[in-house]
Structures are given as C-alpha cells and as structure tokens.
Structure 1
C-alpha cells in the first residue's frame, strides 16, 4: 500500500516523497554502488574575499537567508567593526563566488562553505556570539511587533521568529526563552520544535511536558499544525491554561499578537497531561445547550463512559452528574465508580485501536451559547471566547498525526509520592466515597501481617469496577477465610508460586475471572487463575500497600489511554504503565495480568 501511495504521489502529484522504514532484513542483492568521498580540499581554509571576518561570522546565522540588519548585529556580537548596511551590501556584491544577495538578505551560495566556517569557531566563542545576538533580538523585538506576529512585520521579524529559538539553544538560553509567553507566541512552530529537540537531546533529557515546547510537541503530534501565528498562539494559550501555568498564559496575552480566540475555562486534559485532576469528565462526544434554573448551561455525554454531565457555561462549574440514562436534574450525581457497575472508562487496547478507533479525535463537538463556544474532545471540554464572535467560524480541526515523523511526545510522569499508597491519592483517582477503611475491631483474626492491617485501617481500599477487575467494599465484607486448596483449586501446580504460604487468604475482589486474595501471614497479594488455561503469574504485588500504589497509577493511566489525542501518545502511555509498575514493585509487575489488556491485539 505504501509503495502504491508513493508512486501515485510521485507520478501524479509531482512531489518528492521520503519514506521512513525499518532496516531491510532481506538478503542483500548484488548492485552496482558508487561511493562518493568528500573532496580532499573540504577542510582546507577557504579563500575569502575582503572583510573576511564579516563573512565568517555570517556562518553562525540560523535561518540561512539573513537580513543586512541581522548580519550587522552578528558582526557586532563577534566584536567586529560596526559596518553600515550599505557597506555590507557592497561586501555581498563583491563576493559573488561566496554569497548571494537579493537586495535585502544575504546567504551562502554553498552551505558547505558555511559549515566549514562554523567548524572554525571555538565552542565558547560561538556561544558568546549567539548569546549576544539573543540579547539583541529580545531587546529590539518591539521594533517588529505586529498583530499577526513578528514574521508579518518584515524580513528582520521573520528572521527573529525562525532564528531566535536555535540561537537560544546555541547560547544555552533556550529554557529562559521558552518560559516567556510574550516570546513563545511569536516563534515559528516548526523552528521552535526543531530547537527544542536539539536542546533536550544535547542535555540528554526527556522533553518537559510542563513547558511551552512540551505543549508545542504534543499539539503537533495531535495534528495541530499549518495555522496562522494567531491561531497557534491561541492553542498555546489553551495548553498553558489547562496545565495551570498562568505565567506563560499571561505572557501570551501580552505578546501583542491578536488571538482569534481565548480559553474562558478548561475541564480538558491537555495532550501529554498525567494528573488525576484530568479524569473528569473524561472523553466527551456530544454537547448541547439545556435550560437550567438561574444558569446558562450545557449538557455533555461521554465517549466511553457514556454518562451525562451538566456544566455552567460562564464558569465551567459542574452542576450535575455524572448520571446514567439521561440529563440529570439539579444536584443529581452518581459516584465516579458506581459499585459493581462498569463505566467503560478503562478500555482494553483492542477497543482503542480497532473498530474505527485507530486515530483519536482531538476535537469532537461544539456548541455556541451567546458569545461563548464550549468545545468537546477526547480530553474533556473547554470554553473559548472569540475575538470577533460574528466572524468566528470555530476552531479549525487538526490534521491527524504527522504522516512521516513527529517531534516526540512530552509526557508527564506521576509524582514520586505515588510510589506509595496514600488516602489522598486514592481519593483523587477513585473518589473519596469509594475509599473504605476497616475499623480495627472488624479486622479478621487470621490477618497477621502488620503492614496489611495498617493499610486497611489507615489508608483503606477503593471499591470500584473497572480495568477488568472489581474490588469489594472493605468495610462491608465478612472477611471469610479462604484455604490454600480453595484459592488454588484451578491452578496448575507449576503455577503456584513458592512464596504462597499456607494461608489463610482473604478475598479482595476479582480480576479477569480470578480471585484477588491477600495472604494473611505474608501480606502478599495474589490473583488465582480463572481456569486451567490461565497462565498469568499469580503474584501481583509483594504487599497490600504495594498493590494499592500500583493500582492507583495503573487505573489513572488506563483512564488516560481513552483520552489520548493520538496513537503515538497512547503508545507512550502504555509504556509508562509498565515502567511505573516495575518501579513500584518489580516482582509483582512481572505478572502479565497487569499488561494483558494492553497487548490484546498482539
């Protein structure tokens, strides 16, 4: 199929096509090959015309077409003579073998010449020059301010929008630049992302999701590209607002760019976000206006968890819901995880990647109420205010994931504190009403493990149904003892772990048809086989506290899988599930029970 598509594009579309593939493992065939070696003189000093230093420093420019104004500042940054633009134009005209000049900007005729000159600079010297140019670009930016962005102001503004990010990387100042919303709003999307990749690669760091470059990378992967500078700035404004980065958002507002729309409020998970606060309302498929006492309201229905919510259009406050079967009345609400009922908020991989769901939708529906537009998507919902409501046609939909390549995914990680179970964290994921503690007097006599006793009385267990499991209400069950023979009645003797003691065991719930049981003596948590064909390793956690720590992150990330805005992000989230399980309890994470639903298409 790829070969056919490439052929059609090349023949009928008259475009050049590059296809990224895995290495070809087929046997090599005999073919005539021509090996082109570098010219012997490639590294020999260049014969430069007069004003050699002026031409040499030009090689440090980032965009290859350099306005005379910028060339002049590059020379000054390199401690060269303060030449006028007229003098530089004359230098360019007298150097036809090296430079091309269009009357406004200069460029090297052969980029290999620029590469050779760049290699001649000591790193500290080059860093110094880049740093001085960054300072000039930032201090002089008011001169090319424009409602449509720097690029619209002319050649120097266009150079700044495209060149500042990489100059900042070379100067070691990229992080400071990317945290200034007044500047970020002006930068060309691709140039900014290219510089960010260079910055993080050089620092051997993963791209930070809580930065403007992380926002940009995640938007690109979600298909948000080919926009006007104002539209791009509006998206960055939304991302920073959803993340709670007011400093960045306020900077974008003060950038001088006309934003076609601004976020009013957000109940939306921005791509890359990994926080419990993003769980509600989950993916939203439909929106419509509804009458409500004393409020302007809209109702929403979920895409996976198909229950209904009602929201205040002005503030984004939740007025009612979640509710099953229709729009709720005022104050009607069900628990986040109704006891014994599956909400479909944690879908297995096969449901997410087949049956027409291979490419998630960033945006799904919208409704206009007065001058406010409420927008729904896989990450939830948010409200925007158009700059010109009468002319605003809506947010333009994304174009889908990049066809050939992307700039990476900037994914948050759960906080280090999630490595241990805590009542507050469990409440954030499951809802406070779902976390049940057991009174000391109600603990079973056969439960001797001290940590398990502490967890049940001080932390509690969540009662919920989801992610192929169902946990019982700890404060309501009778804690009947299970014997070794009963628990492992369907297990092949080879599957019974050596760590399994004689019991007694206590039922915590079920998972994929098997019983989740707590070893009363040793404190480990096991899942018994559902039948004779069930070959998952029974040990799922070395302790009850470890089980809850694994569970809280596991359920959070399983929910976020349904909210991802691209297949690439889903795959990153799936990998993060495995990494975090292994980080918490390496031995328990070896059980394929944790990952069975994540690889059910393999």
Structure 2
C-alpha cells in the first residue's frame, strides 16, 4: 500500500523539517497497523537529500545504532567500538536526518524491550551527540514504546481501507493461528510449531507447514530456508511466518496465552532440549534447541518465571546473551534485584560484554558465580554442555553488587609479580594507596603475597613506601630462574604479552589489567583483585578486550535494595546509632552534650535527643566536611525564606558554613552569596547519609559499571532517608559522582579519582 500524503501530513512534515536543527525535536509517526506509517516515512526520506533510512525489523537497538552510523558514512574504528557508547557518541558529527521505519518491530522476539530502547536510549544518543545535529523521525507504537514525550512532533495516521485485522470470532489460544502467534520469533520451524501446538492443547488440525499455509493463505507463508535479522541463513527448512509482524500481533491479541499456558510452553521447550541425551549446546541440537536459545527467556518472562529460569546455570549458559538481557527488561520493568544472579547477568552487559561468544558467556557467568560464592550455580554452568574457553579455578576477585568495603578483600591490584618463596612460586601484588595527593602526598603501597596455585594469602598485607618496579623486584628480569612464564599488561585495551604464552589469556573486561601465564594457567589482576583461570591451549586470542561500555544503556535497570537497617535506625535518631557512626568516624568522634548544657535556642525535641544520646560527630576531611563537635551561635535571620529561629554553626561543608536550625532541627549549608541550601531534615539524617557515603567511597569494585551501580544505590538510599537531597546542589554533586579529593581517599584508580 502507498500512503497518500494529505495536507495535514504534508504540513506537519514540512514544518518539522523547517525547525532549527538545534531544537532536535523528533518526528513521531503513530497509528494503527496498516495505516501506512512505513510508507509515509520512506516517502518522506526520499524527499530529504542525504537522509539515512534504516529498517529496524528484527534488529536490536545496538544493531540499529550501527546501521545508522553506516548509513551516515560514520566510520567506527576499533578505538571507537572499544569505548562503547562514548566512542559512538564522539564519532557522530555533522548535520543529518535519520528515518527509522518499523522501529516498533525491533528485537529478535515479539516480546522485546528493543522498541523501547530505540525510543529512549538510541534516540537520546542520536539527539544529544555533542558534535552532531541530527533530526530523527521514527514509527511509534504506544503499546510497545510508551507514550511519546510532549516535546515530540507527533503525526497520527488513521487506518487506511486496506488495514487488516484478525478475524478471530470465537477463537482462542488453541486456534492454529493463535498457536503460531504464541511463538516469539518472526518465523517458526515446523518442529517448534508442533511443540507449541501440543503444549497449548490445541485440537488436531493442520500441523504440516504447507497444509497450514494452504488453510490460511492470506495470513501466513512458508519459508523454505529461514534467515535471521542479520541475513544469516538458518539451517532449518519449512518455517512458518505471518505475512507481517502486525498480523502476528493482531492474532496474539485475539488469542491471548495465559501465564499458566506459557509455563507449559517453557516446560515443553526445556524437556525437548534436556531429555535428548548428554548435555550439549542447544544451538547444535536441532531447530527446537536453536529456538529455545533465542526465545525461551521471552516465554519465561511471559510466564512469570524468568527469575527462576535464569538462575539455573544449565539454562543460563545455553541461552543467547541478548535473549537473557531482553527478558530481564521485560520481566523486571522496575529493575533487576541488586546483588543476585540476575544482577550478575545484567552486569556483563553493563561492563561491555556485548560481543561475547556463547562459550565466553558461560565462562564469565561461571567466574561471577565463584566470586559470589555460588558454587552450586558454578557447577551447573560448567556442566551445561557449553564449551567454555577458560574456567576460573580460584578467585580473590570481588563479586558484583557488594556495597562498601568487604572484610578480607584484596582490593585493587596495580602491579603483579612472580617470586620464589619457601612454598614454591608466589604472586606478589601491590596497589597505590597514597592519599593527600592534592597537597603533600606521603606515598604508600599495599603489598601482599599469594600462593599461585590456590590464591591463598601468605601473611597479612604490608604498607611499603615504594611500588614494585622501584623495589627489589626488577621489571625486566621478572621470571624466577627455572620458571617458564608469560607476563601480560593491558595497554590501550590490548594485551602486551612477553614471551609467547602456551595458552592465550581469555578476553577480559578492561578492569583486568595485569596477568601472568604459567603453562595453561593464567593469573589475572585488576580493579577487583585477582583470580586464576585454566585456559584452553587451542583458544583464540584476538588481542582485544571487552568493550569499555555497551553501545547503549543496558536493557534492564537495577533496583536498589532496602537501606541497611542500621542506617534507617540511625536516620531516625535511634540512640544505638552511636556505635554505627563511630565505626567509621572513629571512637569518641560523637561528642555528646549534657541536656543542661544545650543552648536555649535548640528547642526541637529530636535534635536535643540526638545531641544528648548520640552526640555531634567531629570530622575532618571526609567529603570535604569539617565539623568540630560544638555549637557556635549565629545571628538570627528570617529573611531567607526559611523558618526564623536560632541557628548554630556546626562546621563547614564544601567551602560554606554548615548550620543547625535549633527550632526545626534542619541542617543548612550557608553559601556566601546565595540563599541557604537545605542539607538534611535533621542531624541524624545528615550524618547517616555521610556514613553511607563513606562506605561507598571506600569500596573497591570489580568494574566501573559496578561502581556506577553502587553510586545509584547510594543515591536511592539517601533519597529514601531524606528527600531533602533533591533540593540540594551539594548533595546533587555528591550523589552524581563529583570527584572529591579530600585527603581521606585510598585511591580507587591510579589517577586519584573514583571511576564514576
């Protein structure tokens, strides 16, 4: 069908094209299926010289982003791809107009979050690229993409006379077309159709591909050889497909499948891929196995069992990474629970692992399971039948999703050496722990020795004044006599390895920066500590790392857990907060006041109780905060819009006095030239949030993505404790990752700044 442009459409598109490109408003084409949205966009693109047009059908949002770049002639070199999203944003330059057709049909499954990712993450990347000015037009479907923002230019098309709908009078999920619509992929192997037919309890009918197509010639077609969205040929023959995605959606709406029925589908698929002998890759076990690897997570999301399915290592290793990430976004729209197996799955994408092979996917999930102490899950992953190119054998690497310091953790490792000890070969690890770099640093390096075979520490860590390369360990002569070893160091994202190793190291995230190879055992170290992995000698090493970040934001968000009970109690002014605060602030740091000695101007009951029972903390340096434990009276001033009352200076925060309002209990920051800024609703809340920030800033993290997650958790906790933080520019800087250099920070990166 060719959509005929009416005066309204012509005028709207003409006005949109005439808008100053600096406004970067999107053009959104909405309307029912069959209304001609794609035709309208294609005609519009043909009228714009040099416009880029990309068909999103079956593609992920990341693949659409790469195709947009190709259509615009943007060359993405290895460096830009390695950097992920920042590299992509930086590569976009110049003035462009981009049209995205069928954006509502993005994704490899019908139940997909990819249309929303295009509507949000990809759109923001294109419209906000700092060196480019891009006009963006795309198709829109409210059910799959949400409501467009008010700032968009919206054109809604009425259904044309040729628009089709599902004639499903009296049909249910067991109708032959309802069975086909229950499938998740665009075309479905006959073997999968038959499995769905049986699982849904459909009555006997045409289960042969040609017979089914003959029964419904206007609705479905048979594809002898399937091709995926990338154009790669599928080995299965006799695949059924609706003639358009909108027809599949219409029949799915007309013949809904219940959660209970979806659970039967999940069970049938699992039985088909697990009851056929020894464990082996699903992708090698026929059309049902290939379908399950792509679509089983989506079925589980619809069944309400995605969390159960994706925490089974035998299944998790087999499904395609993108299918798992997409299903998490569908199953957990409010966010994936923090700190569990599902968060580990999400973390791989957040760290930039979007080009992992199936074997690497299983191996890194196995590694994450061991770091978290989930030994049963690790055994399931290693026994899944997916061939892993390496296997972690011991770990001192910090697991994902752990907030704050962990007792006994190794911490970041900047240097790694091999030495001979009384017990054989040992590893010598060191990190820069210098503080006060902004003033007069006293250089300090934490050094510790570990058993190379088990990872067990030899003794406690020691603090020394020089790094390894300045000490007795000589960089150019680093292999003990009689030992054959290879040393690897990360330079610009690639390994520099000397001499040639027996087995190549695994492809690693950029947070891994050092390595020592002993035959097929590699000891690897970096931001999260160190671990050892046995690598296949026939493994392929292309010399690259994971990408530094995903091309777009991860599919699924992270849900913050409940704040620690101690923090909530302390924020409520509980008398037991004193030990929790002094655990970090130091013994005796909370200076209590006798009730009779409190100034008369402090009349707020909760504040009086806090000062008497907990005490006013005396701090120096932390968060650029100095408090002296005392109460210095300030002149009364009711001209700033705050409730009038007696105020007392309790210290300084970020170059401005910090004051207590004795009548309300509110804590205020008093900049010189602006109105007072609320810092917290009470002393108890303020110091509880400072204590949480201290836990955050002292935590070593296995990746930059993990630190960003912890930063988001900190922000959520502080907003839960005191919504005042949303009214404070200073808290906005604190929770947004301002790089404080306050003389107390044991360096989290070599340049002295936290990797936010």
Structures share fold, TM-score greater than 0.5: yes
**TM-fit CA distance, 1:183:** 1.0
Q: Is the 8 A contact 2:394 2:533 kept in 1?
A: no
Q: 1:260 to 1:131 in 2, by over 3 A?
A: same
Deviations 1:343-386 (A, max 9, x none): xxxxxxxxxxxxxxxxxx742412226454343344x2230322
Q: Distance in 2 between matches of 1:515 and 1:263?
A: 52
> Paired residue for 1:308?
446
Structure 1 position 253 matched with structure 2 position 382: yes
Aligned to 1:9: 70
5 Å-filtered alignment, 1:64-463, equals: 64-81=186-203, 88-89=208-209, 91=211, 94=214, 97=217, 98-102=220-224, 104-111=237-244, 112-124=246-258, 127-143=259-275, 149-201=281-333, 205-270=334-399, 272-277=401-406, 283-290=412-419, 294=423, 296-302=426-432, 307-313=445-451, 314-315=454-455, 317=457, 319-321=459-461, 323=463, 325-326=465-466, 362-368=510-516, 370=518, 372-378=521-527, 380-388=528-536, 397-410=545-558, 412-413=560-561, 415-417=563-565, 418-421=567-570, 432=583, 435-437=586-588, 446-447=597-598, 449-456=608-615, 461=617
Q: CA deviation at 1:231?
A: 0.7
Q: In structure 1, the residue corresponding to 2:387 is in which secondary structure?
A: coil
Distance change >3 Å, CA 391–CA 46, structure 1 → 2: closer
- Provide the residue aligned with 1:353 in structure 2: none
Larger deviation, residues 587-596 vs 148-157: 587-596
**Which structure 1 segments of 5+ residues have no match?**
329-360, 473-478
What secondary structure sits across from 1:225 in the alignment? coil
Q: Which has the higher strand share?
A: 2
**TM-score, normalised by the number of residues in structure 2:** 0.58
Whether the 8 Å CA contact 1:68–1:88 is kept in 2: the answer is yes
Deviations along 1:518-576, one digit per CA (max 9) or x if unpaired, are 789987655565xx34x47365344443233111222334456987524xx77665555
Determine the structure 1 residue equivalent to 2:185.
63
Residue by residue over 1:180-226, the C-alpha shift from the partner in whole angstroms, topping out at 9 and shown as x without a partner, is 1211111111112212211223xxx3222344443222221221122
**SS of structure 2 residue aligned to 1:401:** coil
User: Within 2, Cα distance between the matches of 1:43 and 1:410?
Assistant: 38
C-alpha distance after superposition, 1:290-343 (max 9, x if no partner): 556657233132599784342524235484447363359xxxxxxxxxxxxxxx
| 8 A Cα contact 1:463 1:471, kept in partner | yes
Q: Deviations over 1:416-468 (max 9, x none)?
A: 4132339999989x995753136999979735733223224xxx958664432
Contact 2:590 2:614 survives alignment (8 Å): no
C-alpha displacement of 1:415: 3.0
Report the Cα distance in structure 1 between the residues aligned to 2:264 and 2:412, rounded to whole angstroms.
47
- 8 Å CA contact retained: 1:148, 1:230: no
Could you tell me whether the CA contact under 8 Å between 1:200 and 1:207 is conserved in 2? yes
Residues 274, 309 of structure 1: alpha-carbon distance in 2 compared, 3 angstrom cutoff: same
Could you say which residue in structure 2 is the equivalent of 1:586?
723
- 1:246 positional shift: 4.1
Q: Bigger CA drift: 547-556 or 242-251? A: 242-251
SS state at 2:731 partner: coil
The 2-side partners of 1:304 and 1:220 are apart by: 32
* Matched length: 531
Q: 1:142 to 1:193 in 2, by over 3 A?
A: same
SS of equivalent to 1:220: helix
Q: Separation in 2 of the partners of 1:564 and 1:510?
A: 33
Distance in 2 (CA, whole Å) between partners of 1:144 and 1:549 is 56
User: Which deviations, in whole Å up to 9, do the C-alpha atoms of 1:458-515 show, x marking residues without a partner?
Assistant: xx9586644323567xxxxxx6x55325xx7xx9985696566365x6x5x6533445
The alignment partner of 1:134 has SS state of helix
Post-superposition shift, 1:62? 1.5
Match in the other structure for 2:123: 20
**More divergent stretch after superposition (170-179 vs 383-392):** 383-392
Distance 1:156 1:290 in 2: 52
Aligned residues of 1:289 and 1:367 also touching (Cα < 8 A): no
Shift of 1:73: 1.6
TM-score (norm 1): 0.71
